[in-house]
Amino acid sequence: MASCRRPFLAVAALLCLAAEWQLAQAFKKSYIVYLGSHAYGRDASIEEHARATQSHHELLGTVLGSKQMAKDAILYSYTKNINGFAAHLEEEAANQISRHPDVVTVLESTMLKLHTTRSWDFMDMERDGQILPDSIWTRARFGQDVIVANLDSGVWPESNSFTDEDVFSEVPKRWRGSCQDIAKYGVPCNKKLIGAKFFNKDMLVNNPGAVDTNWTRDTEGHGTHTLSTAGGRFVPSASLFGYANGTAKGGAPRARVAAYKVCWSGECAAADVLAGFEAAIHDGADVISVSFGQDAPLADADSLLQEPVTLGSLHAAMSGISVVCSAGNAGPLEDTVVNSAPWVTTVAASTVDRDFPNVVTLGNSFHMTGMSLETSTLHSSELYPMIKASDAALAGCDPVIASTCPLGTLDPAKVKDKIVVCVRGGDIPRVTKGMTVLNAGGSGMILANGEMDGDDIVADPHVLPATMITYKEAVSLYEYMGSSKNPVANISPSKTEVGVKNSPSVAAFSSRGPSGTLPYVLKPDIAAPGVDILAAFTEYVSPTEVPDDQRRSEYAIMSGTSMACPHVSGVIGLLKAARPGWSPAAMRSAIMTTARTQDNTGAPMRDHDGTEATAFAFGAGNVHPNRAVDPGLVYDLSNDDYFTFLCAMGFSTEDLAKLSAGKFACPAKVPPVQDLNYPSIVVPALRHSATVTRRLKNVGRPATYRATWRAPTGINMTVEPAALEFKNAGEQKEFKVTLKSDKDKIGKGYVFGRLDWSDGTHHVRSPVVVNALD
């Protein structure tokens, strides 16, 4: 009996130990311990990197009890340019190490979200497929040998957008990157795609089910799409199932590109993101493109350095690398913009002048226009019975839930051979709604906007005949269905239509300012095409990403600020090639001060609902690349300017010493935060009057620039001096803008104006935004 009991007790003991270990792990989280910058530079030796790693083990070991325990807990040691480490810790240990004098801050790792062709023609870089003589493409040699890094979901290397068949020069010698994949189906390098690395240690700890394979290959499509938009080569006859047929190309088609896979299954773990930034900086990228961010803005300025994109992009800016980020897809609500640090270029999404319309014909002969990229059609001569999804709910299913067409909510007996009207929203992907209708035996789908969606409609590659209609059209549709005993309709095939008037407009989903985190900095900075963008895609999944959809395409049409961001990354790549001596801030300034705020009819740009858009929607305006290469003047910023800004935000001299590796201390008199030399002016709490200071740098010919302005409503605005004479290239001149509130017009919220410096040839425009309190 005893001999039978001993193994049982041994197994029980092991099970108990395993349970205790699992319980202990359950209370652990990933934390980033940020220590600032390394004293050494980019050319540090392997030995110096090793000593930095050892110092991280020693620091954490003082909290955990031994260097070995620290080594076991650490996920990443950041040793190249960022000084710090990521570790799997209990909250008590994280709190303890945060009090260490060498530590700037400790971040709890969070999950960031992905912000998920004709656009270059629309931006006047070509016309009908022909490159214009004054195009920035010509002046920048198409971005020859600029290196664009993309932090995203990886890359599909077989795409024609990344082949090197027309690349004749060798990879720039300054490049240190590589393709690390050793998996059978990993990502190989060539002379176009010169880097591919993946980072998933944080994701494996927090959500291991999200990681499919240890490789940089893109299984989602998002990273391939964004990378090819920024730097894909010219590929003729590209289309999605025949739609948007033409030559696909990136903003900088002769740039070298590198993929850093930090996102898995639509999420990006903070420590992996920071590791991706460090690798891209060290490898030698010129531009880093980031199409993801926090779910919501940071709570306040005190949490500014509690976010990996903010930290990673700061170190990139300190290394002279431009970082471009998406603004987020939480619009049209205000105060939803993310990635709002002043050292990044934050991009909103706008439309292009291309649509994919189709027509719904009702039984009363009424016609309404929708949008779709469907690949199957209805019989043109037949009218099909219609039913609202809420009226077709399965027994026991809430009609309100069924109205948005989640999978498995529709009754096949009610739906068979009918066109089903589904309501937009409900956190159900639009194409999935169509799959729900198809699975239930429906013939087609009309996707109807709700009141908040307004006129914002999107073309999707639906799996059945389908269309999406505006809220106004939806109201008419419901009126017809309510007045007819047997409502019927037909949906015509879609077509590609170009030259759409009142373009661009701001996409409804694009996140808006003001930035609650940094109200003194206008965000977003700029708008760029982000609706129905054709670019390369993975062939691992369907362009719809719906599991049951077996269709595959080398190119896909996607929408989001994710798509807008790489347009600007590509433009900055061109500026880097054309103006290699410019700083990242100068390039951002050139893009902002030359932007357009009118549509293709000459009217002010509209918001998604038809009202006039404001700077909170599009920043300085819609990007105009050809102008940006010759802006005349720029608002420039140095590392010390950013450090001074952080001092003004309340960060201590000790923090700045660590961040700058001892090279900077806060000045005795810190200038006000609104004096950051940014290309826009924001006064979020004007009390009677305020004066802001700016500094312009001449990057053109000698000239005298004179100021004109349109003051925000209810604000008296003056500029002193009102004329600036520049005799030499590189010369800088300072001016002041004084804003005074009109006591009879206070309390109207934010109001918008504009400042324009011109020499008769160049126009250097800045938005002016004021909220007068008294």
Rounded to whole angstroms, the Cα distance separating 619 from 502 reads 18
**56, 222, 282, 608: which one is catalytic?**
222
Three-state DSSP class for 413? helix
Is 147:256 a contact under the CB 8 Å cutoff? yes
Cite the beta strand spans of 646-714 per DSSP E: 681-686, 689-698, 703-710
Three-state DSSP class for 728? coil
Active site residue 152: yes
Amino acid letter, 181? D
Start-to-end CA distance of the chain, whole Å, equals 88
Rounded to whole angstroms, the Cα distance separating 721 from 630 reads 24
Rounded to whole angstroms, the Cα distance separating 653 from 660 reads 10
SS (H, E, C) 136-202: HHHHCHHHCCCEEEEEECCECCCCHHHCCCCCCCCCCCCCCCCECCCCCCCCCCCCCEEEEEECCHH
What is the radius of gyration, based on Cα positions, of the chain? 28
Structure tokens at 728: 């030499």
Cite the beta strand spans of 492-626 per DSSP E: 497-498, 526-529, 533-536, 555-558
Name which of 494, 499, 436 is nearest 466 in CA terms. 494
Helix (H) or strand (E) holding 46: helix 46-64
Is 733:695 a contact under the CB 8 Å cutoff? yes
- What is the sign of the dihedral through the CA atoms of 672, 673, 679 and 684? negative
Is 76:85 a contact under the CB 8 Å cutoff? yes
**152, 283, 630, 636: which one is catalytic?**
152
Torsion of CA 66, 72, 74, 75, to 10 degrees: 180
Three-state DSSP class for 465? coil
Rounded to whole angstroms, the Cα distance separating 559 from 246 reads 18
Active site residue 222: yes
Rounded to whole angstroms, the Cα distance separating 310 from 307 reads 6
**291, 562, 583, 680: which one is catalytic?**
562
Is 587:646 a contact under the CB 8 Å cutoff? no
Rounded to whole angstroms, the Cα distance separating 453 from 329 reads 13
Residues annotated as catalytic are 152, 222, 562
